[in-house]
Amino acid sequence: RTVENVRNICIIAHIDHGKTTLTDRILEMTNAVEKRKMREQYLDSMDIERERGITIKSHPLRVFYKADDGNEYEINIVDTPGHVDFSYEVDRSMAAVEGAILLVDATQGVQAQTVANTYKALEHNLEIIPAVNKIDMPNANIEETVAEIEDLIGIPGEDVFRISAKEGIGVKELLEAVIKLVPAPKTADDGHLRALIFDAKYDKYRGAIAYVRVFDGEIKAGDKIMMMSSGEVYEVGEVGTFTPEMVPVDILKAGDIGYVIAGLKDVSKARIGDTITKPDNPAPEPLPGYKEVKPMVYAGMYPGLPEYYEELRKALEKYKLNDAALVFKPDHSPALGFGFRCGFLGLLHMDVVRERLEREFDMAVILTAPNVEYKVVTHSGEEIFINDPAKFPEEGEVREIYEPYVKLSIITPPEYIGKLMNLVQNEKRGTLVSTENAGHERVVMHFEVPLAEIIFDFFDKMKAVSRGYASMDYEFLEYRKSDLVKITIYVNKEPVDALSFIAHREKAYTIARKLVDKLAELIPQHQFEIPIQAKAGGRFIARSTVKALRKDVLAKCYGGDVTRKMKLLEKQKEGKKRLREIGNVTIPQEAFLAMLRIG
Ligand code: GTP
């Protein structure tokens, strides 16, 4: 096998347009997975992914394909996620490949992530092979979708493939096109090793596993390698490829995608975006990495029980290896004790982190309501970034406050324009900048909106007003001056820092009102009455009350059998993992996220 017979591709698409199904079909056609092992969505190997039906992590895969020209080709496929929160994963997959299959669902047409990912593929200079998927569906609008793709990338409609990933229709033709159109990997052939770490994973037994694309040179077990960012040297224990299971091979050559295990016990050493080279003959310069991802939202994370702080820290460090987008630093909250301030890409990301910590590391955590990062200019002119509402200055303490704005684009059928304008402009403090047509029956609306307005419930609201037809994408625009106030919540007369939040002055009262009501619903009744108050600008602006409980919880068990009582106590202990005593009030996890549920 020579590098001429290698093709490296990724599959890009809007969420649910069929990437995983297509990859499954290719696996089946190339017999990479034995039939008995084949199951739906082979690649969505993470439990959460299978349950939610979305791809979160990119899984590389190598198959061998016997093409019509009689030659056997090695095709490396990097699967990519479609959700807006995970678009940075798409970027790094693209850095590792030469071509992209662009998949568009014939029943939905071009959507926001189709457009966003196509632009990314163009930036990475990838050969794009477009395909309309799900042509087997009775409601498929094949020709309309083809026309939209023509508009998007300006290639003639006859060059757009029409496939059904589910039924396997047109998949062979698509693979033939990959062989013909996607260029074989180019190598510098200058005697240096250059391998890009495009992902990494922590394994309990083997330490850090770096997923690499070898651009130049080769790596094998026993080689000494050097990380270009740190200059640290390691010995390679094993190299291999993904079938999709990890299978050791003798050597990874230029053009290959595979993994490297080099006894990196310290998980932070396998930095995604780093270049691996050889210490005795180092490459003069690293490969262009890709841009660091910047978190969009921040929240406090605390161990279920305070004594698990150290364990949580270790879990986060290991977790981060597989998810470079998570950032965290130690923090302390008067109410919740020692924990971390974490940065996430969005709410789905936050949710996934929480769930993976629970499933993969047995760590139950308490998360506080997420918020964006504000910029504050002090009276002396100093600029400070604040992502913790508890640390937000009180009225008059600073000169100016700025909040992040994003460019938001929404693609929608024209009939929902009015409702979407109303949502963004009247409810979410946004402004419409322009609109343009995108193919038939579809309009792109460009807005400028405070990020804080779209991180909570915006996605669901947009889907609701457009009956599921609109899709969105956004990117950071700039910081703009804003009239924001800090609202502090008092539970039983005690301020609870972990419940405080920042709101625009015009909305402060309404949000405070809804929040105290919601909290009163979520905080369980105690033996005494609990006032819940919101304070802003030095005065209380809303109040609600949790009425006192009349009976003892255990009262109903008195006189009953002992085991029942024991069981109840046991259960309460379990539940406590996620409850916190503040003052003498027990606050459940849901209460800390009440902000997300007040609409
Ligand atoms: P994310 O990873 O979440 O972005 O989704 P995806 O793009 O991987 O989509 P996935 O392969 O999970 O497909 C989404 C749904 O569409 C699944 O229910 C598939 O069974 C279905 N689907 C995919 N391709 C076809 C097709 O060609 N025909 C039909 N009828 N259904 C399909």
Can you read off the two tokens belonging to residue 305? 């029980």
Closest by alpha carbon to 109, among 137, 74, 76?
Answer: 137
The number of C-alpha atoms within 13 Å of 219 and in the hemisphere containing its C-beta is 37
pTM over 0.80: no
* Ligand 1 atom showing the smallest separation from residue 11 Cα: 7
Determine the average pLDDT of the residues in 381-389.
90
Cβ of 115 closer than 6 Å to ligand 1, yes or no, is no
CA 21 to centroid of ligand 1, rounded, Å? 5
d(CA 53, CA 168): 20
Can you read off the two tokens belonging to residue 408? 């938001």
CA 17 to centroid of ligand 1, rounded, Å? 5
For residue 450, give Cα distances in angstroms to 432, 479, 580, 596. Answer: 12, 9, 32, 17
131 Cβ neighbours under 8 A, 6+ residues apart:
101, 102, 103, 104, 160, 161, 162, 163, 170, 174
Is 293 within 8 Å of 88 (Cβ atoms)?
yes
Helix residue ranges, H only, 30-170: 47-52, 87-95, 112-123, 142-153
Beta 218-220 vs 251-253: how paired, if at all? antiparallel
100 Cβ neighbours under 8 A, 6+ residues apart:
9, 10, 11, 12, 94, 121, 126, 127, 128, 129
Cβ of 244 closer than 6 Å to ligand 1, yes or no, is no
Cβ of 165 closer than 6 Å to ligand 1, yes or no, is yes
The one-letter code for the residue type at 304 is: G
Cβ of 55 closer than 6 Å to ligand 1, yes or no, is yes
Cβ of 18 closer than 6 Å to ligand 1, yes or no, is yes
Burial 102-119 (b: 16+ CB within 10 A, else e): bbbbbebbbbbbbbbbbe
CA 334-340-346 angle, to 5 degrees, is: 120
Is 85 within 8 Å of 346 (Cβ atoms)?
yes
Q: Any bridge partners for residue 207, and if so which?
A: 203
Burial 288-319 (b: 16+ CB within 10 A, else e): ebbeebebbbbbbbbbbbeebeeebeebbebb
Residue 168's CB: how many other CB atoms inside 10 A? 16
d(CA 100, CA 341): 37
CA 165 to centroid of ligand 1, rounded, Å? 8
Helix residue ranges, H only, 96-204: 112-123, 142-153, 171-181
Higher pLDDT, 290 or 540: 540
Instruction: Give binding residues as ranges.
Output: 16-21, 133-136
Pocket probe mutation, ligand 1, options 10, 12, 15, 20, max atoms within 8 Å of Cβ:
20
Cβ of 19 closer than 6 Å to ligand 1, yes or no, is yes
Res 56 pLDDT > 50: no
Res 577 pLDDT > 70: no
User: Read out DSSP for 355-403?
Assistant: HHHHHHH---EEEPPPB--EEEEETTS-EEEE--GGGSPPTTSEEEEEE
Res 450 pLDDT > 90: yes
Instruction: Give binding residues for GTP as ranges.
Output: 16-21, 133-136
382 Cβ neighbours under 8 A, 6+ residues apart:
none
Cβ of 164 closer than 6 Å to ligand 1, yes or no, is yes
CA 53 to centroid of ligand 1, rounded, Å? 9
Helix (H, G, I), strand (E, B) or coil at 345: coil
Beta 275-277 vs 194-203: how paired, if at all? antiparallel
For residue 254, give Cα distances in angstroms to 222, 223, 231, 498, 552. Answer: 18, 15, 22, 51, 71
CA 152 to centroid of ligand 1, rounded, Å? 22
CA 281 to centroid of ligand 1, rounded, Å? 46
Can you read off the two tokens belonging to residue 449? 């909106």
- Tens digit of each residue's pLDDT (9 = 90 or more) over 204-246: 778 788 899 999 999 999 999 998 888 888 999 999 998 877 8
pLDDT of residue 558: 45
Of 234-248, 330-344, 508-522, 572-586, give the lowest mean pLDDT range.
572-586
- Tens digit of each residue's pLDDT (9 = 90 or more) over 260-307: 998 766 656 667 788 999 999 888 888 876 566 778 899 999 987 778
Can you read off the two tokens belonging to residue 203? 């394994």
Can you read off the two tokens belonging to residue 410? 């929404």
Predicted confidence band at 578 (pLDDT cuts at 50, 70, 90)? low
**Residue 381: burial class (beta carbons within 10 Å; 0-12, 13-18, 19+):** exposed
Res 158 pLDDT > 80: yes
Determine the average pLDDT of the residues in 126-150.
94
Pocket probe mutation, ligand 1, options 10, 20, 21, 46, max atoms within 8 Å of Cβ:
21
- Tens digit of each residue's pLDDT (9 = 90 or more) over 335-381: 788 999 999 988 878 888 988 888 888 888 888 888 999 999 988 88
Predicted confidence band at 53 (pLDDT cuts at 50, 70, 90)? very low
Q: What is the 3-state secondary structure (H, E, C) of 215-236?
A: EECEEECCCEEEECCCCCEEEC
3-state helix, strand, coil in the chain (%, to 5): 30, 35, 35
pLDDT of residue 48: 52
pLDDT of residue 437: 84
Cβ of 53 closer than 6 Å to ligand 1, yes or no, is yes
Cβ of 59 closer than 6 Å to ligand 1, yes or no, is no
d(CA 363, CA 340): 14
d(CA 152, CA 436): 13
pLDDT of residue 289: 63
CA 54 to centroid of ligand 1, rounded, Å? 10
- Round the average pLDDT of the chain to a whole number and report it: 84
For 45, phi then psi, to 5°, come to -80, -15
Is 210 within 8 Å of 197 (Cβ atoms)?
yes
pLDDT of residue 557: 44
Nearest protein CA to atom 5 of ligand 1, as residue: 16
The DSSP element (H or E) to which 328 belongs, if any, is strand 327-333
CA 178 to centroid of ligand 1, rounded, Å? 21
Cβ of 137 closer than 6 Å to ligand 1, yes or no, is yes
